[in-house]
Amino acid sequence: MPDGNALSPDHRVGRSVPRPDARSKVTGELRYIDDQPFSGLYGATVRTRSARGRVTGLRFVDGTDQGVDWREFAVVTANDIPRHSKLDGVDPNLVALIARDQPYLVRDEFRHVGEPVALLAHPDPEILRRAVDLVEVQTEPLPAVLDYRVPPTPGQVQHGDDSASGTASAPSDDANVFSRIVVSKGAADESRDAFRAVFESAAHVVEGVYETPAQEQCYIEPNGMIARVEVHDDDREGALWPTNPWKVVIEGSMQCPYYVHKAITHLLQLPDDKVQIIQAPTGGGFGGKEDYPSIIAGHAALLALKTRQTVKIIYDRVEDLAATTKRHPSHTRVCAALDADGKLLAIDMDVTLDGGAYVTLSPVVLSRGAIHAVGPYNIDHVRVHNRAVLSNTPPHGAFRGFGAPQTVFAFERHLDRCADALGLDPVALRRRNLIQRGETLAISQRIDEPIAIEAWMDEALTDIDYTGKRAAYAAFNADAQASGSPLRRGVGVAVFMHGAGFTGSGEDYLASEVMVRAHARGGIEICTANTEIGQGSITVFTQIAADALGLPMDLVSVAKPDTDHVPNSGPTVASRTSMVVGHLVARACDDLVARLAANGTLTDDDRRSADELETADRVSALSDAKGKQYRPDRLQAALRCAASDEAGATEGWATYQRPPGGAWDDKAYKGIAYGTYAWATYCAAVEVDLTTFETRILDFVAGQEIGRVLNPLLAEGQIQGGVVQAMGWALLEDTIYVDGHVKNPNMTNYVVPTFADVPDVKVLFQESPYAYGPWGAKGIGELPMDGPAPAICNAISHAIGVQVDTIPATPERVMRAVLAAERSQEATS
């Protein structure tokens, strides 16, 4: 790391300061939503039990023998919800997200197993649980799409225009397609023929097909919400929809309080100030608590309105696994044209994501997958055709990486197939094609930052001893073959990047705001809507603010995300919290100091003397740590004074400002997709046992350039956690759908890795500060999810000499690949 990047020793940023929330989490003192003291009713959800059909009625089966007396229950169905919102005319029953097509409660047609049809509330959770099974949902079946890879028949079309260009027997190309994106560059921009010509004249054309499964986020605690209504005295009985708006307060496990807020104001047709959303301590989200919490919050609120009581809905693990969102399954065909030396001339890719039954977040997941598909390589001619399509399973949604892990898996796996076809070392092939400063990505974004991907890659390769292992494993495998040992070893690599923050102009639309407020102890409170979900955001925000002001950490506190008290700083997703929101925290601190200076609370006398000032201490190109220019005792006095003076400047604000540079063209799918990228090389060494076909990961090195490491221990934890989550996706985790039912909705059969399944993960950081992140930081939340699966499968393929193209690379799959290769070898010999 160049020394010019180093921070002075009195910084909190760059140090592994302990997290303030650690103790309560480790000791179990922390109260997750279901642990909180509660009195009220329990709510539960009656769900559909087939993949597609029409609900014709509900039958409440007598349950007297089980203590179920239907008169004691509150029941809410779609009939309780008006069809047109008095605010905007749209059906309030449709969840306010990208497209409004997913109902809170099925009115008529339903599209997946586990779709909510009715809500029940009762004081006794056990009786409630029995009652759910006693509600018979009467249905008429409709033709369901059970395999997203197969084009729909006319009867299966549920989305998109099938009448315009389709015929009765063959639906159009848009049938059941939620979203379509084409990335193109070079000859692909010119014409089909020009693009085809590149392939026709290439020395090598290599093709492969890759598939990935639905992955469950497996946060610590399942989803849950508590809703209460502040009822007017004259309104204790009566209609579900009061003419005179009440206030609805919802607390629960979530990533994005303002997403829930938007959804609930729409569902209940309430003005913004009548809905208050509070984040309860949340033990991990990984995207799984991005959009689905809106539905549970809506359900709890509907029951609360109907009963005028506080209602709690907590999913158990089975319900959570069966009904809520997972990572999109994917099917990708990659075709590469290469010259004789392994230079990639052109890439043609077809990506299909399984969106599940409703649009939800599929278009944006697809977009990130499309943009990351071709990775950090300089390739002249590219076409990536991406589709998210419907199937009759619960909607697939956000999950760490957001489409990128799927496309990166296909592409990085394919590079090894190409190397194999050309007889090249996989790393040598990558070297020949890595992007350099001044060259352009597939989306035509020119990389202007100083990057040194090859040098960064070499650091990771050296650490795992790639060259040594290639040779040693070749010898090991030859010996094993000769002696009849079933063990085979291999080493594999993946090189990739991940853009942080919302894509393109997404951050402009969000227009995030952060506020910091002076408090009476002479410090500040940071108010953002960004949630601590295990990643350490409280710690990092505290470090940033402490350094921006030059105050000790204990004078900085972080407010609980509560929409009544914090501004909308955007969702906690997309690796944006430290980089984008952290930067706003620093700028809000600057703003507060500027206001104190402007109104005379801070004067020039309060400034540090020139020799006390550190010169290299700007936060970023947009923020300068103004507070640090003042003597800490004076600043504290000024903050105390501001906090006590009601008329004075007690708050500092910052609103997102786009860094200078080019724009993003959403139509052409070209331009500045992300202000910056983190760059990474991951290496895996594995051993495959040909008796059982099990893979053991022997060694793993994760090297990445992330701008600035704000907190080394937390950053290492983020990378290791992400790597382990991706190891599960690569080797173990598979959601088994049969007729649209999740067949393994429990932790016994949905198999996530334990410590015994993973090696120590070595983490290497390089820092090349980004001018528009706090002290140069880039986002890292999603990055570690992208690389492990291809690195591991590349290593497996190296070990056994058979391409492994579908994950999870379970022993069953590896066995079939090995036996198929043996059979085809026998046939040819």
Tell me which residues touch other proteins (CB under 8 A).
42, 124-129, 314, 316, 318, 484, 486, 690-694, 732, 736, 743-744, 746, 748-749, 751, 753-754, 756-757, 811-812, 815-816, 819
- Cis peptide leading into residue 774 (ω within 30°): no
State in angstroms the smallest separation of the CB of 763 from other proteins. Answer: 22
Task: Let me know how many helices (H) and strands (E) the chain has, helices first.
Answer: 20, 27
C-beta of 19 vs 312, nearer to other proteins: 312
C-beta of 608 vs 741, nearer to other proteins: 741
d(CA 480, CA 482): 5
Strands 311-314 and 41-47: parallel
State in angstroms the smallest separation of the CB of 802 from other proteins. Answer: 15
Amino acid residing at 234: D
Q: What is the DSSP letter of 34?
A: G
DSSP assignment of 539-607 equals HHHHHHHHHHHT--GGGEEE---BTTTS-----S-TT-IIIIIHHHHHHHHHHHHHHHHHTTSS-GGGB
Inter-residue long-range contacts of 17-22, CB under 8 Å, 24+ positions, other chains counted:
17/539, 17/542, 17/543, 17/553, 17/711, 18/539, 19/536, 19/538, 19/539, 19/714, 20/538, 20/539, 20/542, 21/532, 21/538, 21/539
State in angstroms the smallest separation of the CB of 793 from other proteins. Answer: 18
State in angstroms the smallest separation of the CB of 692 from other proteins. Answer: 5
d(CA 252, CA 264): 13
d(CA 387, CA 160): 13
C-beta of 42 vs 630, nearer to other proteins: 42
Q: What is the DSSP letter of 20?
A: T
Asked whether the beta carbons of 652 and 592 are under 8 A apart, the reply is yes
State in angstroms the smallest separation of the CB of 310 from other proteins. Answer: 16
State in angstroms the smallest separation of the CB of 744 from other proteins. Answer: 5
C-beta of 34 vs 109, nearer to other proteins: 34
Q: Which of 277, 287, 284, 272 is nearest to 251 (CA)?
A: 277
C-beta of 553 vs 802, nearer to other proteins: 802
In the sheet with 109-110, reading across from the earlier edge strand, the strands are: 109-110, 53-60, 135-141
C-beta of 172 vs 485, nearer to other proteins: 485
Q: Which of 703, 707, 679, 681 is nearest to 768 (CA)?
A: 707
State in angstroms the smallest separation of the CB of 34 from other proteins. Answer: 8
C-beta of 733 vs 782, nearer to other proteins: 733
State in angstroms the smallest separation of the CB of 129 from other proteins. Answer: 6
Asked whether the beta carbons of 399 and 326 are under 8 A apart, the reply is yes
State in angstroms the smallest separation of the CB of 405 from other proteins. Answer: 21
State in angstroms the smallest separation of the CB of 788 from other proteins. Answer: 16
Q: Report the SS3 class of residue 140.
A: strand
C-beta of 745 vs 781, nearer to other proteins: 745
C-beta of 31 vs 83, nearer to other proteins: 31
DSSP assignment of 227-291 equals EEEE--GGGSSS-SS-SSPPEEEEEES-S-HHHHHHHHHHHHT--GGGEEEEEPP-S--TTTTTS
558 forms beta bridges with 526
Please measure the distance between the N-terminal and C-terminal CA atoms of the chain and give it in whole angstroms: 54
d(CA 638, CA 82): 53
C-beta of 43 vs 208, nearer to other proteins: 43
State in angstroms the smallest separation of the CB of 756 from other proteins. Answer: 4
State in angstroms the smallest separation of the CB of 42 from other proteins. Answer: 7
Strands 556-558 and 523-527: parallel
State in angstroms the smallest separation of the CB of 26 from other proteins. Answer: 18
C-beta of 633 vs 812, nearer to other proteins: 812
C-beta of 163 vs 754, nearer to other proteins: 754
C-beta of 448 vs 812, nearer to other proteins: 812
